[in-house]
C-alpha cells in the first residue's frame, strides 16, 4: 500500500521512529532527528501552519513505563518538536512512536 502524495488531500507527513537511534523506520514527507533523550525534531518537506494542522502521536511496542505522554510543538511551519516524558513532573524518556500530521484545511 503506497502513501498518498505529500500535501494531497489531508495527509501532510508521517513517520514511525525508533527511539533508541532516533531514526525513522519509515518516513513520508519529513525527516526525523533525535536531539536529546525523549526529544525529536521533525523537519517537514512542505511547511504547514499550526492553525491548519492536526497532529497525532501514538506509542509503538510494549510500554515498560506508566503515565507516558507526548507533546508536539509547532516550532515553525517546517519544524515540529516531539517530546516524550513519563510521570509527574514529566521526566524525558525514550519510547518508539509514530506521528502523523494532517491538513485540516485541504488545498490551503
Model confidence at 1, pLDDT cuts 50, 70, 90, reads very low
pLDDT at 90: 83
Quick: pLDDT tens for 57-74.
998 876 666 678 899 999
Q: Is residue 5 part of a domain?
A: no
Average pLDDT taken over every residue of the chain: 84
Q: Is residue 2 part of a domain?
A: no
Q: Is residue 61 part of a domain?
A: yes
Question: Please, what is the Cα angle at 27 between 23 and 28, to 5 degrees?
Answer: 160
Could you tell me whether strands 39-44 and 30-36 are parallel, antiparallel, or unpaired per DSSP bridges? antiparallel
Q: Does residue 42 have a pLDDT over 50?
A: yes
Q: Is residue 4 part of a domain?
A: no
Quick: pLDDT tens for 15-27.
999 888 888 888 8
Give the Cα separation of 8 and 33 in Å (integer). 25
Give the count of domains, the chain: 1
Residue-by-residue DSSP string for 24-65: EEEEESEEEEEEETTEEEEEESS---GGGEEEEEEE-S---S
Q: Is residue 1 part of a domain?
A: no
pTM of the model: 0.82
Q: Is residue 16 part of a domain?
A: yes
Eight-state DSSP code of residue 3: P
Which residue range is the domain that position 64 belongs to?
11-103
Q: Is residue 53 part of a domain?
A: yes
Output phi, psi for 78, to 5 deg.
-110, -5
Amino acid at each position: 500500500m503506497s502513501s498518498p502524495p505529500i500535501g494531497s488531500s489531508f495527509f501532510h507527513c508521517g513517520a514511525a521512529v525508533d527511539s533508541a537511534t532516533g531514526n525513522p523506520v519509515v518516513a513520508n514527507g519529513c525527516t526525523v532527528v533525535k536531539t536529546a533523550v525523549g526529544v525529536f525534531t521533525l523537519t517537514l518537506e512542505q511547511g504547514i501552519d499550526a492553525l491548519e494542522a492536526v497532529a497525532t502521536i501514538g506509542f509503538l511496542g510494549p510500554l515498560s513505563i506508566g503515565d507516558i505522554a507526548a507533546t508536539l510543538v509547532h516550532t515553525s511551519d517546517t519544524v515540529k518538536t516531539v517530546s516524550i516524558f513519563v510521570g509527574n513532573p514529566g521526566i524525558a524518556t525514550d519510547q518508539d512512536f509514530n506521528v502523523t500530521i494532517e491538513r485540516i484545511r485541504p488545498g490551503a
